Amino acid sequence: MNETLLILLAVLSLGQFAVLLILFLRRPPSGPDMESPLKSLGQQNERMERGLRDEFARTREEQGKSGRDLREEVATAMNRITQTLETKMNQIQESNTRKLEEMRHTVDEKLQGTLEKRLGESFKLVSDRLEQVHKGLGEMQSLASGVGDLKRVLTNVKTRGTWGEIQLRAILEQILLPSQYEANVKVKPDSNELVEFAIRLPGGEAEDKPVWLPIDSKFPKEDYERILEAQDRADSEALRVARDGLAKSLKLFAKDIREQYISPPLSTDFGILFLPTEGLFAEICQYPGLLDAIQRDHRVTVAGPTTMATLLNSLHMGFQTLAIQERSSEVWQVLGAVKTEFGKFGLMLEGVEKKLDEAKNKIAGVRSKTTTITRKLKKVEELPSESSRMLLDLVDGEEDGEDAEA
């Protein structure tokens, strides 16, 4: 409001000054008459200036006082606001701290329970796995021990042959009957050599004297190991030398079988060389012309476990066919005897039919006589039941006595 008043005073002063100036300009100047208005105007201006200065001074004092009061009020309000904000912030901080503490406590409990549960499950799983690993290590140690024992067994030539013989025996027991093969057979009468197994085939000179099919098992382990080592090293020259050595060993085995166990007509004109592993048999099959050469030169067929099982299955089917042929003649004889007896049975049926006709005729005669007697007895007076029963018993006794006398 003070500023508005000052502005109005200034405007009025300027208006008065402008009016005086206009009057002064309209009148011609005259010496003494002009001085008095100017003097009065100057005095008025001085008074107005003093009034304005005083008013400006009061206005400044009032504005300063108002500013100081306003600043004090603002400072007081800011202090109150600051204190209020500090109080609220402290309350909020305390509430947040309390809630955070509750949340932390809840989270700690849940985390602790979940962690303990997960750790328990993990430790249990790890314990089970460690136990399985321990068992596996024990089994691997047992397996390693067994492999070492097997390696020591296979190192001995005699024990190695026994292992092949056991495997061959297992195949024979699974497919053939015990009466269809024998072990340790002496094929040649003038030789002391015994073949490991021989299959009994019919067709000898006498019916009770079979023809033997000799089967001998061999396992050239050293030659086969040299082939495997050469394959691991990718050494083609060593592989070729090892395969040649294996082929030479097999030819020597086939030669021994031919000379010791093949003796027609006591045996078949060929024998079987059994190899106990499929890997060894597959390696021999890869050698060009080896199997054909052994079969052509020595009359020996090389067979692995699968090939041996297939060959024995074929022989078993032949045995079954032969048994069926032998049984068919017996069945034919039984059918002939049945036919003869069936003819006699027809004659017996004819006799029975005649007897039945005679009995039928006799029954018809008895029926006619019964009818005649019944017709005659119609005129006879009937007796009481007890009297008739006593009479009939007496008559039956008399009839029985007459039959006995007769």
Sheet holding 181-185, edge to edge: 181-185, 195-201, 211-217, 271-274, 300-303
pLDDT at 327: 66
Q: Is 363 inside a domain boundary?
A: no
pLDDT band at 319 (very low <50, low <70, confident <90, very high): confident
Report the pLDDT averaged over residues 186-204. 80
Which residue would you say has higher pLDDT here, 326 or 356? 356
Closest-CA residue to 275 (of 161, 185, 186): 161
pLDDT tens-digit readout, 266-318: 888 888 888 888 888 888 888 888 888 888 888 888 888 888 888 888 887 77
**Three-class DSSP category at 176:** coil
**Is the Cβ–Cβ distance between 6 and 57 less than 8 Å?**
no
**Three-class DSSP category at 184:** strand
| Strand 181-185 to 195-201 pairing | antiparallel
Six-digit token string for 299: 């009359």
Q: What is the 8-class DSSP label of residue 287?
A: S
Give residue 311's Cα distance to chain centre.
Answer: 35
**Which residue range is the domain that position 263 belongs to?**
161-327
Q: Which position has the token pair 């005699």?
A: 158
pLDDT tens-digit readout, 203-230: 655 456 788 888 888 888 788 888 888 8
Report the pLDDT averaged over residues 362-379. 75
pLDDT at 5: 61
Cα atoms found within 13 Å of the Cα of residue 395, Cβ hemisphere only: 6
Q: Which position has the token pair 């395969």?
A: 243
C-alpha distance from residue 173 to each of 23, 169, 316 (Å):
158, 6, 12
Q: What is the pTM of this model?
A: 0.44
pLDDT tens-digit readout, 231-243: 888 888 888 888 8
Whether residue 368 is predicted with pLDDT greater than 60 in this model: the reply is yes
pLDDT at 279: 84
pLDDT tens-digit readout, 124-140: 888 888 888 878 777 77
pLDDT at 401: 45
Which residue would you say has higher pLDDT here, 58 or 253? 253
pLDDT tens-digit readout, 51-108: 777 777 777 787 778 778 888 888 888 888 888 888 888 888 888 888 888 888 888 8
Whether residue 21 is predicted with pLDDT greater than 70 in this model: the reply is no
pLDDT at 343: 67
Closest-CA residue to 13 (of 58, 60, 50): 50
Q: Is 101 inside a domain boundary?
A: no
pLDDT at 358: 81
Highest mean pLDDT among 19-33, 216-230, 245-259: 245-259
Q: Is 1 inside a domain boundary?
A: no
Report the pLDDT averaged over residues 363-390. 70
**Is the Cβ–Cβ distance between 271 and 261 less than 8 Å?**
yes
Q: Residue 200 pairs with which residues in a beta bridge?
A: 212
How far is the C-alpha of 249 from the C-alpha of 115, rounded, in Å?
Answer: 68
Which residue would you say has higher pLDDT here, 266 or 19? 266
pLDDT tens-digit readout, 140-186: 777 666 555 555 544 554 445 566 788 888 888 888 888 888 888 88
Q: Is 314 inside a domain boundary?
A: yes
How far is the C-alpha of 119 from the C-alpha of 117, rounded, in Å?
Answer: 5
Report the pLDDT averaged over residues 355-365. 80
Q: Work out how many domains the chain is built from and give that number.
A: 1
Q: What is the mean pLDDT of the chain?
A: 75
Report the pLDDT averaged over residues 242-264. 86
Q: Is 76 inside a domain boundary?
A: no
Whether residue 386 is predicted with pLDDT greater than 80 in this model: the reply is no
Q: Is 298 inside a domain boundary?
A: yes
C-alpha distance from residue 82 to each of 70, 74, 91, 276 (Å):
17, 12, 14, 100
Q: Is 183 inside a domain boundary?
A: yes
Whether residue 245 is predicted with pLDDT greater than 50 in this model: the reply is yes
Q: Is 117 inside a domain boundary?
A: no
